[in-house]
Amino acid sequence: MDKKDIATIRKQFKVDNDLLKIHEIFNVYIMKESSDIYHHQSLPFEMLEQEQKELFMDNFKKVLSGQLDEKLFELKFQRDVENNSQLILHQGLLSNDTEEWKSQMLHLVEKLLKDKQYEMDIVVTFIRGEYMKPMKRQSEDAEESKRDTVYSHPFILCSMNKTQDPKKELLFDYVEKEFKYNIVVDPIINLKAPISGFLFPSITDNAADVNHVLYSAGKKNELNYHFIEEVLNAEEIMTAAQDKLVFEEIVKNVAGDQTINTSKLSNVYDEIQRVVEESEEEDSPKLDYKDVEKVLTSSGIEDVNTEKVESAFKTVIDDENYSFKANNIVPKYTSKSIKIETKIANISISPQDLRHVRQVHFNGKRFLMMEVEENTVIEGFEMIPEALFEKAPEEGE
């Protein structure tokens, strides 16, 4: 799935949308002390009150919110795994019997609880529904309405949410005209911040892909590996942040003792951005060791060769065939995405402006020097340029 596919599905999650039919909702309450199922309940979604529907719809949209490779990850199911979740989900998706559907989802919950202790009570919500996407008309003159023919996508969506203790509050009773202490013992289910979830199957270009599942992390770049590997039985994946760290280590390994100054680093980012812009792929193009070799050579890093780059891949990630997503390893090119942090000040600049920054030595001290095209204004005061460097005396003077 790409970001366009995800955005298209996410915006359908609204009440009274004729393109989205949610057949059933199944809630499972899990106790933190025992990791046991305390209660579960299945209902037709239409039986919920309007306010409940709206709360859940917002929750489902949050499961599908975030950037790919940061909060959302398309995962491939592992092969040859006993009690495979791919099969469980597929059977649940195809079943016309509510009891069979509940049984399959409880099977997943059992895997969720195995060898796992939660710090708070958890509510796991499953929905089974159908998303319909209208086909585009052949031409403006076509008589057939775009709603007459649709792509139909059956799906299962899961949302995991933590509970929290109710707030202690003081209330005013209008009838009795007195202040009262609000005593509530029922836990509150926090639907505003799901801690995990998934969408099955993955949907790409109007085609369902049952070999992949879209996993949603609770926080950006923080993966729940137990959920990914033991519950979903999916293959391990790297976050965008991990991808970037691995790439940086490979560059350092190839460069060796060479100094990677801001000019060379800026060249590296420029080369990767050029690859992104020239790529015909809608999604982020990938860079293997051969592409990394070309990028580093074109960026002015010396003594780069295939053997060195292959060796760096093996040393850092133990896989010379690994490929990076280009968008993961270059900071956002058109925004001030590079953060320079010092004890005195923090500065944000864009990758394309990095070449205008230098670290220099002067009078035994280190300075951060920035090339600017105009006088700097600080708190309304225009700074006058100071001459720090003097011309060296010529011989014989």
Q: Average pLDDT, whole number, for the chain?
A: 87
pTM assigned to the model: 0.83
Query: What is residue 185's predicted lDDT score, i.e. its pLDDT?
Result: 67
- Supply φ then ψ for residue 170, to 5 degrees: -105, 125
pLDDT at 372: 83
pLDDT at 231: 94
Q: What is the tens place of the pLDDT at every residue in 277-317?
A: 887 766 678 899 999 999 999 888 888 999 999 999 999 99
The pLDDT value recorded for residue 388 is 66
Cis peptide before 393 (omega within 30 of 0): no
Helix (H, G, I), strand (E, B) or coil at 174: coil
Domain ranges of the chain: 3-135+147-231, 240-329, 338-382
Residue that has been written with the tokens 């960026």 in this structure: 299
Q: What is the spatial distance between Cα 289 and Cα 311, in angstroms, rounded to a whole number?
A: 10
DSSP reduced 3-state for 370? strand
Give the pLDDT of residue 50: 95
The predicted-structure confidence for 45-89, as pLDDT tens digits, reads as follows 999 999 999 999 999 999 999 999 999 999 999 998 888 999 999
Pairwise CA distance, residues 273 & 277, whole Å: 6
Rounded CA Rg of the chain: 28
Taking residue 190's Cβ as centre, other Cβ atoms within 10 Å add up to 15
Instruction: Please say whether the beta carbons of 187 and 164 come within 8 A.
Output: yes
* Cβ atoms 157, 60 nearer than 8 A: yes
Tens of pLDDT along 351-372?
888 888 888 888 888 888 888 8
Backbone angles phi, psi at 36, to 5 degrees: -110, 155
Q: For residues 344 and 366, is the Cβ–Cβ distance under 8 A?
A: no
Backbone angles phi, psi at 361, to 5 degrees: -105, 135
**Positions of the chain with pLDDT under 70:** 136-148, 185, 281-283, 387-397
